[in-house]
Structure 1
Amino acid sequence: MGTALITGASAGLGLEFAWQLATAKHDVVLVARDTERLERLASQLRAAAGIHAEVLTADLTDRADLERVAARLRDESRPVGLLVNNAGIGLHQPFVGGDFEREEKAFDLMVRSVMVLSHAAAEAMVERGRGAILNVASVAALLASGTYSAHKAWVRTFTEGLAVELRGTGVTATVLCPGFVHTEFHDRAGIDKNVLPEIAWLNADDVVAAALADVRRGVVISTPSLRYRLAAGVARLLPRSAIRAFGSYRRAAPEREAWTAAGSSSSGDDR
């Protein structure tokens, strides 16, 4: 893989991606908004793994910052072999009556930035004849949980289409679709994790290890753990009317709204 660029690298799954890739002796480019956290992480990775860790502070909802990250992916003097589009946020609000500016920022972060960075990485990688793109979605992509489900459904379908287009180029595209993962994402989103049984939760290290193994094998859809593969299979088989009915049930209670809409996220905050 060579060098890996990870968005949302300072928290959540992004942090775990950074550690696992660094300990596997890959250089890393760490992208997030919090320079202090990124610099601290970079120092730890250099000391622990002996790799080169580059800090690239950027707000991916800002067009100029996003373009700087895209330019880094296009830089053939410092090629990136793996792009991990991981940055995400949990809105924890209804679409109607919610803060629409936050909705726009979530769209820019979880849809627009994935498209822009995937495009920049794919063009450079195809020219080289090798590389991999890993986009983090969620099992929520199969549900009807507001705009979060819509964003992740787009990421899933987009990545599948990209994988088809990249066949034969030496470049692969994988979409990661986990369920509930123990990270600080839920604390930042104000989600009460106690409303779910422990069996529903996955560990970040297991999710990331499974995702990277699938990337190496060229798997297109990576769904860590048997229980979530089964849940995803059931969700695909159910009529959409049943999925919408579940969404209506979820909307009937605030605590169910919390864990279903935002809690199913697995990606780290973009800070």
Structure 2
Amino acid sequence: MQYVGLITGASSGIGKELARIHAERKRDLVIVARRKEELQELKEELEGKHGVTVKVIAKDLTAPAAAKEIFQELEGANITVDYLFNNAGFGGRGLFHEQDWGMLNGMIDLNVTALTELTHRFLPGMVQRGRGKILNTSSTAGFMPGPLQAVYFATKAYVNSFSQAVASEVENSGVTVTALCPGAVKTEFGEVADMDDTDMFENARSPRYTAERGYEAMEAGKLEVITETGLKVMIKGAIPFIPKRVGLNMIKKMQS
């Protein structure tokens, strides 16, 4: 296998589109998600259309040993990962004190712990080889606190901070780290997070559009990409000057 991209959350949404874009460039893949049947269907599609090699790993990344097991399986198969797409993640709407702790803990395990451990395991080899690209799927949610999605917004703030810090550490090594920060996207995320009926998802972008912006930014070695111009202007130019309570109430209303 060559130019291998490891993609988590590859069975649907942005992850599936990232896999398609990678395969269109004749680059091989390791696709990871819980749902083996969906992964197998994607494998057959990509190998049939593009002549690439695709390895399927059905794994629940919230399990404590998942990242280690993935790394060891690929190491044992002599598969070198040149592109790491930490894409898997989910959210959930509600008052923090009323939400189920098991769900919130799983969100932290997936959005933060799995992403961090996979990066920690695969990054040393990239640095040693002097090449590699990492794309962490974050969110515009990472630039502000999020009433009614307190934990989700906080996990994405972590992803933004972590991605930029590591990118600085490996600067000039041949390895780059990019944070993909989309707004609302038409994926299973909205349904899982119980947000399909909110203002945020009224004009949601397609997974393909989002994946293309992320892939392009990763190839260019950018620190981050905010996929919506209007949101970028708001985040960089307006939100820093809005009183905190006013901003919090705005976000809460959008998610209600």
Superposed pair shares fold, TM > 0.5? yes
Deviation at 1:248, TM superposition (A): 3.5
Question: In structure 2, how many angstroms separate the alpha carbons of the residues matched to 1:5 and 1:113?
Answer: 13
Query: Which amino acid in structure 2 is aligned with residue 237 of structure 1?
Result: P
Q: Which has the higher contact order (CA 8 A, sep 6+)?
A: 1
Structure 1 stretches of 5 or more lacking a match?
259-271
Matching residue of 1:257 = 255
Equivalent in the alignment of 2:63:
62
Change (3 A) 1:229 1:73: farther
Equivalences for residues 1-271 of structure 1 within 5 A: 2-72=3-73, 77-145=78-146, 146-193=150-197, 195-196=199-200, 198=202, 200-234=203-237, 237-239=240-242, 241-242=243-244, 244-251=245-252, 256-258=254-256
Give me the whole-angstrom Cα distance separating, in 2, the residues matched to 1:124 and 1:205: 30
Number of equivalences: 252
Per-residue Cα deviation, 1:75-117 (whole angstroms, up to 9, x for no partner) = 6821111000000112222211210111111000000011101
* Segment of structure 1 superposing worse, 71-80 or 125-134: 71-80
Give the AA of the match of 2:15: G
Distance (Å, rounded) in 2 between the aligned partners of 1:61 and 1:197:
26
Counterpart-to-counterpart distance in 2, 1:22 and 1:154: 30
The SS at the match of 2:211 is: helix
Question: Which ranges in structure 2 are unaligned for 5 or more consecutive residues?
Answer: none
1:230 to 1:155, Cα distance in 2 relative to 1, 3 A: same
Q: Does the 8 A contact of 1:142 with 1:235 survive in 2?
A: no
Distance 1:197 1:77, change over 3 A: closer
Contact in 2 for aligned 1:70/1:116 (Cα 8 Å) = no
Identical-residue share of aligned pairs (%):
31
TM-score of the pair, normalised by structure 2: 0.91
- In the alignment, residue 12 of structure 1 is paired with which amino acid? G
Aligned Cα root-mean-square deviation (Å):
2.0
Inter-CA distance 156–250: structure 2 relative to 1 (3 Å threshold): closer
Q: CA deviation at 1:152?
A: 0.2
Aligned 8 A contact 2:140 2:181 in 1: yes
